[in-house]
Amino acid sequence: MVSRTEEGSAGSLTQLTEQLRQFAEEREWQQFHTPKNLAMALSGEVGELLAELQWLTPEQAAQVMTDPEAGARVRAEIGDVMIYLVRLADVLGIDLVTAATDKMADSARRYPVESARGSAAKARRS
């Protein structure tokens, strides 16, 4: 299972980055894909994702993927967010997984398991 995923979807983060770069180049959209513009587009897509969840109760939101229509919309918005995050990281020359792993290691130092357990205050700045 893990090895399938590593060779499959996980292996394709590199492919996705390449495909999105090619997608932009074919359409001569690199001129629009500046760091500021892509950051704005990322924020815009996150806004659309929030709009899908904003009026749901916590219980409804936890079940949103079981609703075929709402679930498909949430999945599409998450796809859009990922697209702009991958494009932005590519334009800036940042490796997404390494940047996230480094940040997680930093959080592990700041929030040791024993003292952070079950604490929303500590969860705030994870």
Interaction residues for a copy of itself, span 36-75 (CB under 8 A): 36-37, 39-51, 53-56, 58, 61-62, 64-65, 74-75
2 binds a copy of itself (CB under 8 A): yes
- Which of 126, 28, 44 is closest to 83 using CA atoms? 44
Q: How far is the CB of 68 from a copy of itself (least distance, A)?
A: 14
109 binds a copy of itself (CB under 8 A): no
110 binds a copy of itself (CB under 8 A): no
- Which of 47, 31, 34 is closest to 80 using CA atoms? 47
- Which of 43, 22, 42, 50 is closest to 83 using CA atoms? 42
Contact 46, 82 (CB under 8 A): no
21 binds a copy of itself (CB under 8 A): no
Taking the C-alpha atoms of residue 110 and residue 112, their distance in angstroms, rounded to an integer, is 6
34 binds a copy of itself (CB under 8 A): yes
122 binds a copy of itself (CB under 8 A): yes
Q: How far is the CB of 67 from a copy of itself (least distance, A)?
A: 12
